[in-house]
Each structure stands twice: as C-alpha cells, then as structure tokens.
Structure 1
Amino acid sequence: TGNAGTSEEAEISAKIGGDIYQLKGEIGDSVKQGQVLARIDDTRYSLAREKAGLGVTSAQISLEQQKTDLARFKALYEQHAISSKEYEAALNSYKMTEISLRSAQADLRSADVNLRDTAVVSPIAGLISARKVNAGESVNPGTPLFTIVDLSRVSITTGIAEADVNQLMPGMSVQVTFDSLGAQVFEGTITHISPVQDQAKLYPVKILVDNPQGLIKAGMFANGAIALSEGVEGLAVPKEAVLHDQGKDYVFIVSGEKAVRKEVTVGLGDDRLFQVKTGLNAGDAVIIVGHEKLKDGAFVKVAK
C-alpha cells in the first residue's frame, strides 16, 4: 500500500525582479515543456540590453582605432623615432581596450539573459498544481511563482518486508488499484528497490504507474499486488544470470564460442530463479559465472 505521488515536480521561481504583467496559466491547466506561463515587465531590461549593445559597438570602434594607432607606434619605434616607453604605452592602451571590449560583450550576454528571463517558462510538461502570484504583483529574484507536476505517470513508494524483498527486482509488474477508483486495475512497474531498511524495518520500493487518462490524482491511496510464490510454467534462469543496464534486463548466452547478449523480460521470482517471459528459447546455454564484465561477441570457453 502507499499514496500516489508525482513522477516529477518543478517549483518555478522568478529569476529576475519586476512587475508581473501577464499570466497564462491557471491551477489545473496542462502545460508543455518550454511553455510561457507569465511575463515580467521587460521595459528596463530591453533598455539595458540596448545600452549594452551600444557599449559593445563603442568598444569595437575604440579597439579598431587603438589597433591603427598601435601599428603606427610600432613602425615609429622600429625607426627609432619614439622611445620604448611611448611604444609600451600604446601597447598597454590597446590591451586595455581589448579588455573593455570583452567586458562590454559580457554585459551584453548578461543583458540578453535578463531579457530572456522576463518570460517565465515551464521546465517540464505537466499540470499547474499551484499559482502563487497575480497579475500586477511585483516579484524579486527567487519569488515562487508556479508548481508544475507531471502526473502522466504516478509514483508509489511502499515498504516490503525482509522475507520478500529478495524476490523482487526492477522491471517486475505490479497490479495496482486505488480505493477511490473502484475495481479498475492499473499496471505498474518496480523501478527502484532500496538496499536499506527504513524506520519501520521495511525496504522502500518505488513503483511507477502509467496514468494516460489522468484518473489518478496525487495523494490517492493505492493497493499493489505482486505475486511472489505462485507456480508459473515456462522458462526460468538463476537470479545471478540477470544483469541490468539503463533500465533493461539482459543475460548472456553461449552461441558457438561467443557470448551473445540477449535482452529479456523477467516475471515472477523466488529466492533462486526468475521467470523469463521473453528473450530466451528453451535450451539456450545461459552464462551465470564471470559474465558481469562480458561484452557482446566476446569469445568464451565453457568449463565442464
């Protein structure tokens, strides 16, 4: 059992200060990643960007003039018409103007960022669960504005007893029902199993449940059923044969003199074996020792 939670949540805060002059989202609205939710008055930021652009132009003109002057001073110095001190002064002036240009360019980039941040956008797709400002309000950097939650999949964390935890593994299916949704059954998948007990002496297990119709709301009480010990006909492999990579399960089998990686779908398990639903055929020789560092296609020798 457990309560449904969001699979992803984003707290959106103002990155710059100013007055909110446009709001484009209400609680419960569906939003896309990158969608504009609000706009902050950009008048002063537009002016700051224009000023920064003029600063870059001015610094570029100054640098071109300094470059011309430096070439002239260098020619005079090589002709011994001026002292080394005068030439070094011209060189230092050129270098200082280069620094001024880089500083002006940095100011322009900063102004561009500030102007861009007048548009408040959602970093994820989901639903607006909270709106914390109104149009016309003044905000500062860090002021909370919106909370966005992704409920296209819901997360359920439950506790599994010590006697049962080793019979579970990521990727196993869970039949989930919700008290408020009657007898409707949702398909869940175990994604994480904690190796450490919580205060209740249970091992936290995270289950993700698809919620395409949005029927499951955050906080709903869930009941999950995981079959651990019923007899199942079909293929089975030792638990140690199954490896995991980027959310997928796989084993190595021997084909000729080579190790071949085979992705599998596992089902029920006990303390020794996992049911294999797909990916293997009866009679496949599964490698169970020394396979952790094997690569697909590696030559192997079967010990007899």
Structure 2
Amino acid sequence: MNKHIIGAAAPLALALLLPGCGRAGDESANDSAARAEGEAGHAEDQAKGSEADEGAIALTPQQIRAAGIELVRVTAGGGGALTLPATIEGDPQGTQIVSAAIGGRVVALNRNLGEPVARGQVVAVIESREAATIRAEVEAAQARAMLARSNLQREERLFRLRVSPERDLIAARTAMTEASIALQLARQQVAAAGVGAGSLNRIGVTAPIAGRIVARPVVLGQTVAADAELFRVSDLARVAVTVPLSPADAARIRVGTPIEIGAGDRRSSARVSFVSPVLDEATRLVTAIALIDNRAGQWRVGEPVTAAIAQPGEGDGTVTVPASAIQTIENRQMVFVRTAGGFRAQPVTLGARGAGTVAVTSGLTGREEIAGQGSFILKAELGKGEAEHGH
C-alpha cells in the first residue's frame, strides 16, 4: 500500500521540481544578461569619459603664471592684418625733461645713461652767481623779518604799558607783514630755481619723476643757459609704438583696434590708443599710437619694429589668433582654449597668415580666451599625459 503511494507520488514531485528548475535557470540567465549589460554600459561610460577628458590639461591660475603662459583673447573678424614698419618711443605721459631754472656751469652729473632715478633725487649740480644772489636775498629777507618781529613785540609791550601810542603799534604790525611777504617771495624764488637743494652758489637739479635716464645732452664743466635740457627721464614700464598710416589705411583703423608688435622672436599685443586726426606736414601720413606694457624691459626706445594691425573681416565667422598660439599635434592644427580647470586642445582650420597672426576659419567662435606665448608647454604636457595613458 505504501509502495503504491510512493510510486504514485514520485512522478508528481518530479513534475513539481522541473518547473522550479526551469524558473531558476531563467532567473540565472536573466541575471547574467543584466550583469553583462551593466558591464557594457559601464565600459561605454568609461569610453565616453575618456573621450571627454581627451585633450584636457588641468592647471591652476598660479601654475599658468609660473609657466609663463600668456592668455590672449581671440580677435573676431578675419580681414587679415596690415603690416607696417613702426618705432618704439617713450610714453609721452611718462617722459620728462630735467632742466635748471637758472644758468650756470655744470659741476656734477650724478647719473649716466640708462641708470634709474627716483623722484626728487638730485641728478646734477650747477654753480651759478645768480644762485648766490637768490640765496643772499633770502637771507636778507629773513633778517628783515626777524627785525620786524622784534620791533612788533617791543611796540606791543610799550603799548600795554601805555608808553607808546597806537599808531606806532600799527606801523610795527605793517612792517612785520611786509617783511613776511618779502621772505615768502624770496623763498618761492629759491624753490622755483632749485637753489634750496645746493649750498653757497650752487643749485641741485632734481628728477621730476621716477624712471631711467634716456638722454644726457650735457657734459661736465659745460656752461648752460636757463631751462637748458640736462637730462631726459622716462618711465619705461610702458612704451609707445608709433605707426605711420596712409589716409586710406587710417580710415579703417579705430581706437581699440588690436595690434601686434614684433621684432625677431619677441612679440607684444596691444590696442591702438590714438589715431591722429591730421596728416603730418612732412610725410603726409597719419600717425597711430599704441601703448605697450614693458615692465619686462624687452623693448627699447628708438627700436624699429613691425606692427601688424588687425583689419575688419566680412562677418564670415573667421577669427584671428597669434601665430604663437598654433601648435601641430598629430598632424592637426590646435589651439589651447582656457577652461575653468585649465586648458583644452581645440582643433582648428587655418586661413591666411599675417605678420605674427593667423586667421582661423573654423573651430573657434571668437569669444574664447586661448594660450598665446608659451602654448608649446601645454603641447609638451599633453604629449606627456598621452604617453603615460598609453603605458
């Protein structure tokens, strides 16, 4: 009886077991498929992340400055560049002529060409009989003022004692006022002549501004007239470049137009600050001036340079970048665009080249800030990163 029950129950248990095994197999297959799909998605995300990070270089602002990488703005408009000869000159607002208000013989020259001077520093000493006369007038005025003050004090004391009449007190006060005015006038003459910085019959000539000596047309022992130029002092932290333009070219140049100055392997970027409204009588040309930051001291007054002035484009989306910003990486032309975390290598298509500039026909919008001088450092850093990634 029991055997029959067990024999009958066995097929039923087997039937119940088989569907369970089928479900377990299906679940295992589904889990494997889900894991494979997740791994594939993770791999795809990693590939996308690698693709997004490709060409990115992380640098802080301090690292950028320490590496000497120059940041420049892309210039909208691809009309090319007008290339002309130009000359470096001192900033008109930062140049002063040092002269003496009175004539005499130069007995000391304390500074040579190229040396720095501080404002108010004595740079020359002149011996002059006129200086002695002026100094004597001051001493005489001081003596008269002291005498008038003493008389006034005596008259005030006598008037209080009712010994001296009031008219004598008034006369003493008037004499004191006149003596004070005469002394003040004599001191003003001393200050105007610069006699106060010397001794006896000598005057010390001081520098009106801080800067460097760029001209010294006198020699020791020379007799000079009043207001003769002794030195010329320039603050060379900023210099000017003057560009002669034809009237036709000047009509296309505006204040604020980008300009790049070049000489050999040196480059500086600036903007036009002045375009003359009149023609030069001798050359019949128009003078344009741009001010250049020269704190590094790379430009010298009087030096001939080449000026490339950006010309307006035709609104076709072309932009202009410095030639130093272009780097060739894997046979592609690249620029390094500034990002929040550093730089990103951006492929570009190049157009016409000017003096120190290149037109970019695609790849930039004209609103970017890019690496100019020093961009080769970013190229080397990018190559280093790719090499490490390859290993």
TM-score range, shorter chain: 0.5 to 0.7
Q: Which protein is richer in strand relative to its size?
A: 1
Task: Indicate if the aligned counterparts of 2:257 and 2:310 stay in contact, CA closer than 8 A.
Answer: no
Residue 70 of structure 1 deviates from its aligned partner by 5.3
Aligned-partner Cα distance in 2 for 1:165–1:136: 48
Residue 289 of structure 2, aligned match among 206, 216, 229? 206
Aligned-partner Cα distance in 1 for 2:294–2:185: 46
| 1:88-127 matches, cutoff 5 A | 88=167, 91-92=170-171, 94-111=173-190, 114-116=195-197, 118-127=203-212
Residue 128 of structure 1 deviates from its aligned partner by 1.9
Q: What whole-Å deviation, never above 9, does each CA across 1:191-215 have from its counterpart, x for those lacking one? A: 1122334456654321122333433
The change in CA–CA distance for 1:101 and 1:149 in structure 2 (over 3 A counts) is: closer
CA RMSD of aligned residues (A): 3.7
State the SS of the aligned residue for 1:226: strand
Residue 150 of structure 2, aligned match among 52, 57, 61? 61
Partner residue, 1:13: 99
Q: Tell me, yes or no, if structure 1 residue 158 matches structure 2 residue 247.
A: no
Provide TM-score, normalisation by structure 1: 0.58
Q: What whole-Å deviation, never above 9, does each CA across 1:46-97 have from its counterpart, x for those lacking one? A: 6665554333322211222234455667x987xxxxxxxxx55663454234
Q: What whole-Å deviation, never above 9, does each CA across 1:16-35 have from its counterpart, x for those lacking one? A: 34554432111222323333
AA partner of residue 169 (structure 1): R
The change in CA–CA distance for 1:50 and 1:95 in structure 2 (over 3 A counts) is: closer
Aligned-partner Cα distance in 2 for 1:203–1:153: 22
How many pairs align?
225
The change in CA–CA distance for 1:55 and 1:276 in structure 2 (over 3 A counts) is: farther
The change in CA–CA distance for 1:91 and 1:229 in structure 2 (over 3 A counts) is: closer
Aligned-partner Cα distance in 1 for 2:108–2:164: 62
Q: Which protein is richer in helix relative to its size?
A: 2
Provide TM-score, normalisation by structure 2: 0.47
State the SS of the aligned residue for 1:151: coil
State the SS of the aligned residue for 2:237: strand
Q: What whole-Å deviation, never above 9, does each CA across 1:154-183 have from its counterpart, x for those lacking one? A: 3222244555545533233211113xxx14
The change in CA–CA distance for 1:206 and 1:149 in structure 2 (over 3 A counts) is: same
Aligned-partner Cα distance in 2 for 1:132–1:160: 32
Q: Highest CA radius of gyration, 1 or 2?
A: 2
Partner residue, 2:233: 148
AA partner of residue 306 (structure 2): N
Residue 190 of structure 1 deviates from its aligned partner by 0.9
Aligned-partner Cα distance in 2 for 1:232–1:168: 20
Residue 125 of structure 2, aligned match among 18, 33, 39? 39
Aligned-partner Cα distance in 2 for 1:108–1:198: 44
The change in CA–CA distance for 1:186 and 1:128 in structure 2 (over 3 A counts) is: same
